[in-house]
């Protein structure tokens, strides 16, 4: 077989990186569960008409078809996020769910965009959503950033800032300016960080029919940001009035005030946040990692009142998604995370000869039964060689069988300390039981 060519945009972590990923996922899931979110997994494919009706472009969706069937299942595509399939799941199972329904979902999604650092075609997301029947109380919008803040604060990563806005603020302001169709304005403003205010102003005049004065006012609104409710006064000072604008400002103040009481500094009101998908109707969130701001958002979401609806039934929701692969890709790219050892194994049981393998297996079994990850040496060799094997693997302890009726012993190969031990009761230090993930220490830190 010739050497395979790597596929860009489909990350495959090395085992130490995968252990880091698994530990981070476990901590995230635990935080979600502490807030009462139940786990869910949905299918990987959805009908294309469902995938494409809420703002995603066809060029970003992967179509599912069989190799030997040119027609195949071309009406199916791989999901590009977890919100659309979740909305479909709610509609199909509404009679069996208790509302408000709180779920978390950690699953891969696929998106056909240009791969770059931290941005992939296949990636893992960790989502939480709350949906209710008919109406969803607004206090859930304020809860979302608190959950994510707690989840991310429990990880060995730089601090995060969650930027919040409300589409009602934007839409009400645009209507108050005389721009009747807010969608092209939102799409243009959403590109501010990518193309800058000059090009956004040109885009507003070209695609949204804005005058130069209207475009300037839209940019003035987008420039407002504050860690407290003072943003509302700055918006009102712009002199634009509209009932929807007032409603959005009141809601956004509630989100910012709730976050300030729970986690000061976690949330900032940033009125340039728009979110590109059309299904958001109110609060929207984006999150940046300290030191990685230029890489964009690692966590986003918002309120959607009409995504899950069928006939007269409506299931409004609010959700937020952590881009796990995106976050890890950025951190791995700077070697910013480390794990205390490259394998789960805590103990290597040494072999005197191959005849001793059954006895070594019994020792390993006794240790494993108490939650201590153990493997038996791959081959009988001089103990020095077996110790070097453990060192190369990062295994901290080597277990030696007792000779001529003597007790077994275990050696910490880092310190050289060796003590008699019984596999039925011996316990490693708590810090060595499992690999420990931590932020990498860099020179000067």
User: Which of 282, 307, 338 is a domain's end point?
Assistant: 338
Mean pLDDT score, 419-435: 97
CB atoms within 10 A of CB 341: 17
Q: Is the pLDDT of residue 51 over 90?
A: no
Is the domain of 271 the same as that of 397? no
CB atoms within 10 A of CB 207: 14
The alpha-carbon radius of gyration of the chain (Å, integer) is 27
The confidence score (pLDDT) of residue 444 equals: 44
Is the domain of 51 the same as that of 22? yes
Is the domain of 331 the same as that of 352? no
Q: Which residues are annotated as a binding site?
A: 81-83, 111, 125, 129, 275, 279-280
Confidence of residue 445 (pLDDT cuts 50, 70, 90): very low
Mean pLDDT score, 3-24: 92
The number of folded domains in the chain is 2
CA-CA distances (angstroms) from residue 301 to 127, 148, 247, 286, 322? 9, 11, 20, 7, 9
User: Which tens digits make up the pLDDT trace of 93-125?
Assistant: 999 999 999 999 999 999 988 888 778 999 999
Is the domain of 240 the same as that of 143? yes
The confidence score (pLDDT) of residue 58 equals: 67
Pairwise CA distance, residues 126 & 328, whole Å: 13
Mean pLDDT score, 392-410: 93
Is the domain of 385 the same as that of 264? no
Is the domain of 219 the same as that of 113? yes
Q: Is the pLDDT of residue 334 over 50?
A: yes
User: Which tens digits make up the pLDDT trace of 143-152?
Assistant: 999 999 999 9
Pairwise CA distance, residues 149 & 154, whole Å: 9
Q: Is residue 4 part of a domain?
A: no
Task: Judge contact between 79 and 41, C-beta under 8 A.
Answer: no
User: Which of 338, 356, 376 is a domain's end point?
Assistant: 338
Is the domain of 301 the same as that of 396? no
Q: Is residue 7 part of a domain?
A: no
The confidence score (pLDDT) of residue 6 equals: 81
Q: Is the pLDDT of residue 1 over 70?
A: no
Confidence of residue 392 (pLDDT cuts 50, 70, 90): very high
Q: Is the pLDDT of residue 405 over 90?
A: no
Is the domain of 304 the same as that of 359? no
Selected residue with higher pLDDT from 276 and 371? 371
Average pLDDT, the chain: 92
Q: Is residue 358 part of a domain?
A: yes
| Percentage above 70 pLDDT, the chain | 96
Which phi and psi (to 5°) does residue 221 adopt?
A: -60, -45
Q: Is residue 3 part of a domain?
A: no
Mean pLDDT score, 249-272: 95
Mean pLDDT score, 256-263: 94
Q: Tell me the pTM.
A: 0.90
Q: Which residue's structure tokens are 């949330």? A: 267
Question: Which structural domain range is residue 396 located in?
Answer: 347-439
The confidence score (pLDDT) of residue 141 equals: 96
The confidence score (pLDDT) of residue 306 equals: 86
Is the domain of 282 the same as that of 413? no
Q: Is residue 5 part of a domain?
A: no
The confidence score (pLDDT) of residue 56 equals: 53
Is the domain of 275 the same as that of 381? no
Q: Which residues are annotated as a binding site for L-histidine?
A: 81-83, 111, 125, 129, 275, 279-280
Q: Is the pLDDT of residue 130 over 60?
A: yes
CB atoms within 10 A of CB 44: 16
Residue 153 sits in a domain whose CATH number is: 3.30.930.10
The single-letter DSSP state of residue 63 is: B
Is the domain of 286 the same as that of 368? no
User: Which of 283, 304, 338 is a domain's end point?
Assistant: 338
Is the domain of 291 the same as that of 308? yes
Q: Is residue 187 part of a domain?
A: yes
């Amino acid at each position: 077989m010739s050497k395979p060519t790597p596929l860009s945009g489909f990350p495959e972590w090395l085992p130490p990186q995968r252990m880091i990923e698994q530990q981070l996922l476990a901590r995230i899931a635990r935080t979600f569960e502490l807030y009462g979110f139940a786990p869910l997994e949905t299918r990987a494919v959805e009908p294309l008409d469902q995938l494409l009706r809420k703002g995603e472009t066809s060029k970003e969706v992967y179509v599912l078809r069989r190799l030997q069937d040119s027609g195949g299942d071309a009406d199916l595509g791989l999901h590009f996020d977890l919100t659309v399939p979740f909305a479909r799941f709610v509609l199909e199972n509404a009679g069996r769910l208790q509302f408000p329904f709180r779920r978390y979902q950690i699953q891969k999604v696929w998106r056909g965009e240009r791969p770059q650092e931290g941005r992939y075609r296949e990636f893992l997301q960790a989502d939480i959503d709350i949906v209710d029947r008919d109406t969803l109380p607004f206090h859930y919008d304020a809860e979302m950033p608190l959950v994510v803040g707690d989840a991310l604060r429990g990880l060995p990563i730089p601090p995060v800032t969650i930027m919040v806005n409300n589409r009602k603020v934007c839409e009400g302001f645009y209507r108050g300016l005389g721009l009747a169709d807010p969608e092209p304005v939102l799409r243009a403003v959403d590109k501010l960080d990518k193309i800058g205010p000059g090009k956004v102003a040109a885009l507003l005049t070209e695609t949204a029919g804005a005058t130069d004065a209207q475009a300037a006012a839209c940019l003035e609104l987008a420039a407002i940001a504050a860690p407290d409710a003072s943003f509302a006064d700055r918006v009102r000072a712009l002199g634009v009035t509209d009932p929807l604008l007032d409603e959005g400002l009141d809601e956004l103040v509630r989100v910012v005030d709730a976050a300030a009481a729970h986690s000061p500094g976690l949330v900032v009101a940033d009125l340039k946040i728009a979110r590109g998908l059309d299904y958001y109707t109110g609060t929207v969130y984006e999150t940046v990692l300290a030191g990685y701001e230029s890489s964009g958002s690692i966590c986003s979401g918002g309120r959607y009142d009409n995504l899950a609806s069928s006939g007269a039934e409506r299931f409004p929701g609010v959700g937020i998604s952590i881009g796990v692969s995106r976050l890890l890709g950025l951190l791995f790219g700077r070697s910013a995370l480390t794990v205390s050892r490259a394998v789960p194994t805590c103990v290597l049981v040494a072999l005197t000869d191959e005849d001793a393998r059954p006895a070594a297996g019994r020792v390993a079994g006794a240790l494993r039964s108490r939650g201590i990850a153990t493997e038996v040496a791959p081959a009988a060799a001089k103990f020095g060689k077996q110790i070097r094997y453990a060192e190369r693997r990062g295994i901290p302890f080597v277990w030696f069988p007792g000779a001529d009726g003597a007790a077994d012993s275990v050696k910490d190969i880092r310190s050289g300390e060796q003590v008699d031990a019984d596999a039925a009761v011996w316990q490693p230090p708590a810090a060595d039981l499992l690999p420990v993930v931590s932020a990498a220490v860099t020179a000067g830190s």
